[in-house]
Amino acid sequence: MSPRSLVLGLGLALLAGCGEQRPSFEPEKVNAAPLGKGLPRGFLLGASTASHQVEGGNENDWARWERASFPDGTPHIHDRSVSGPATDSWNRFDEDVKLMKRLGSNAYRFSVEWSRLEPTPGAWDSEAAARYRQWAQALRAQGIEPLVTLYHFTLPTWVAESGGWENPATLDAFERFAGRVADLLGGEVDWWCTINEPNVLAVFGYMDGVWPPGKKDTKAMATVLAHLIEAHARAARQLRTHDLVDADGDGKATLVGLAHHVRVFQPASGSTTDIAVAGLTDEFFNESVPNALRTGRISLSVPGSVSLRREVPGLKGSLDYFGLNYYSRDHVRQDASPSFSHKYVPAGYDTNDLGWELYPEGLYLLLKRYAAFGLPLVVTENGMDDRSGERRPYYLRSHLYAVEQAVAAGADVRGYFHWSLIDNFEWAEGYAPRFGLFRVDRSSPELVRQDTPAVETFREAARNLGLTPTP
Ligand code: BGC
């Protein structure tokens, strides 16, 4: 335990306790606040999706993983589903745009699927390329700002088979891909997200082994995390040199960001060890990526196994905005596992249907923390698995309230993207969870989209922001 972690842990504990004046998150306060009135002019209000989770028919490393099992026979996907047709958004994009209009949203975050655009090394599928271009054009024609993610967890099989993110050659391939996507979509797209959640991919794919490639190898985890950070820097350079068109006329041709998954790590008790372990967890999971982006230097350490330090050319200054994906808080107790910690939600706390704690104040705290970055912030994801749909309205309201409180406290937040537009393929959880503002009836051949009650909440926020939802 380094003295730094101890100090950080103590700092967090202080933050979680007394000290500064914090806004009240009592439901009466949240419900009484005029939703969306505190958001700044030009704020991007929209929803988020990712290619593999909605398009359908993708063949990539995930599709393969879905069809296989762990050595003991347990299927990789909890509900035994495969992504298959997903929500068929590849063919139903126009329907999805109508949903966005119904929300009154002025922005949409989606990702392009590398395996579709470059199905074999160096090849380029011009039909797929044309389709993505039509999407970006359709969004712009409807007054919806596209925010395009280049990599959201799925690799073409040819990349995965040659070692995926462990292989430095993947960085060259990804850099070329980024340049080509910028050439393809730069005329319509200004907002870019290079990589989605490097920390989640590294931990789930290479430490916990629950996502492809299913490894449990801390050194590989660190290598991959470092490569993803480097891949971001290289993609940012490509986006800036290839996309010179200011598509929305605001004076900026490219706004490059990365979507970072952040969580609140709450020490389970006042004991020095719990506080220190929560601090260590926070430092590794929340801070490794932003620290590298801030300084241009990767510094990763896991006591006893990893100590990796290196400068990355072009990393410092590679961001125009910082994207935060926020869902939940973990309570952390020290234990003897490889991560030294047990993360859990104590009984009696409010959770979503996956058991993740609902803690809107965490979004406020983390926006305030990352405001110190000195860059505009965008909430690139935030949402809940709510299978009844009844609890999402308050979730949305309380998290938008958190954004507004952070803005009132001085944070420069430029956008909020709800996860998700529609129910979609939830990775290892399959189709059981429901994160969509619109429910997808999976039993209907047309995969009919239906409003959940949170659509009305979103529309209220949109109207208060001066947007006009369609009836
Ligand atoms: C991911 C999404 C995912 C969501 C909810 C985020 O970590 O970026 O792809 O669907 O969490 O599980």
Measured from the Cα of 327, ligand 1's closest atom is 11
Cβ < 6 A, ligand 1 pocket: 50, 53, 196-197, 200, 261, 325, 381, 419, 426, 435
Q: Which of 381, 384, 386 to mutate to test the pocket of ligand 1 (most atoms within 8 A of CB)?
A: 381
The pick from 386, 425, 426, 434 for probing ligand 1's pocket by mutation, whose C-beta has the most ligand atoms within 8 angstroms, reads 426
Counting every residue written for the chain, the total comes to 471
Per DSSP, what are the bridge partners of residue 308?
300
First to last CA, the chain: 57
CA of 381 to the centre of ligand 1 (A): 8
Which of helix, strand or coil describes residue 348?
coil
Instruction: Pick the atom of ligand 1 nearest to 426's CA.
Output: 10
**What is the CATH topology of the domain spanning 3-464?**
TIM Barrel (3.20.20)
* Residue 43 CA to ligand 1 centre (angstroms): 23
Low-confidence ranges of the chain (pLDDT < 50): 1-18
Provide the residue type at 223 as one letter.
T
Interval between CA 72 and ligand 1 midpoint (Å): 26
Q: Is there a contact between 88 and 443 (Cβ–Cβ < 8 Å)? A: no
For 404, phi then psi, to 5°, come to -65, -35
Q: How far is the CA of 304 from the centre of ligand 1 (A)?
A: 30
Q: What is the C-alpha to C-alpha distance for residues 402 and 408, in angstroms, rounded to an integer?
A: 10
CA of 123 to the centre of ligand 1 (A): 29
pLDDT for 11 equals: 41
Residue with the nearest Cα to atom 9 of ligand 1?
50
Give the pLDDT of residue 336.
86
pLDDT of residue 19: 55
Cα 152 to middle of ligand 1, angstroms: 9
pLDDT at 14: 39
CA of 203 to the centre of ligand 1 (A): 14
Tell me the best of 149, 327, 378, 427 to mutate to test the pocket of ligand 1, counting ligand atoms within 8 Å of each CB and taking the most: 427
379 three-class SS:
strand
Phi then psi for residue 64, to 5 deg, are -65, -45
Helix or strand holding residue 181 (H, E): helix 168-185
Q: What angle do CA 271, 277, 279 make, to 5 degrees?
A: 100
Q: What is the pLDDT of residue 5?
A: 39
- In this structure, are residues 431 and 9 in contact, taking their beta carbons and an 8 Å threshold? no
Pair 50, 149: CB distance under 8 Å = yes
Q: Please answer whether residues 313 and 237 qualify as being in contact, where contact means their C-beta atoms are separated by less than 8 angstroms.
A: no
Ligand 1 centre distance from Cα of residue 453 (Å): 21
Burial class (CB in 10 A: 0-12, 13-18, 19+), 167: middle
Which atom of ligand 1 sits closest to the CA of residue 383? 5
Of 10, 1, 12, nearest in space to 286 by CA: 12
The minimum-distance atom of ligand 1 relative to the CA of 433 is 12
Distance 281 CA to ligand 1 centre (A): 20
Separation between Cα atoms, residue 286 and residue 451, nearest integer Å:
34
Q: Which of 146, 200, 209, 462 is nearest to 324 (CA)?
A: 200
CA 273 to ligand 1 centroid distance, Å: 30
Give the ligand 1 atom nearest the CA of 424: 10
Are 194 and 150 within 8 A, CB to CB?
Answer: yes
Task: Let me know: does 390 contact 434? Beta carbons within 8 Å.
Answer: no
The C-alpha angle with vertex 243 and arms to 238 and 246, in degrees rounded to 5, equals 150
Residue 241 and residue 253 in contact, taking contact as beta carbons nearer than 8 Å:
no
119-144 per-residue burial string, b: 16 or more CB within 10 A, e: under 16: beeeeeeeebbebbeebbebbbeeeb
C-beta neighbour count of 262 within 10 angstroms = 25
Distance between CA 188 and CA 198 in Å, rounded? 26
pLDDT tens digits, 265-312: 999 999 999 999 999 999 999 999 999 999 999 999 887 888 999 999
Domain layout of the chain by residue ranges: 3-464
Q: Tell me, what's the pLDDT at 50?
A: 99
Amino acid 302 reads V
Distance between CA atoms of residues 8 and 385, nearest Å: 31
Q: How far apart are CA 360 and CA 357, in angstroms?
A: 9
Q: What is the model's pLDDT at position 339?
A: 75
The two most distant CA atoms of the chain are separated, in Å, by: 59
Backbone angles phi, psi at 282, to 5 degrees: -60, -45
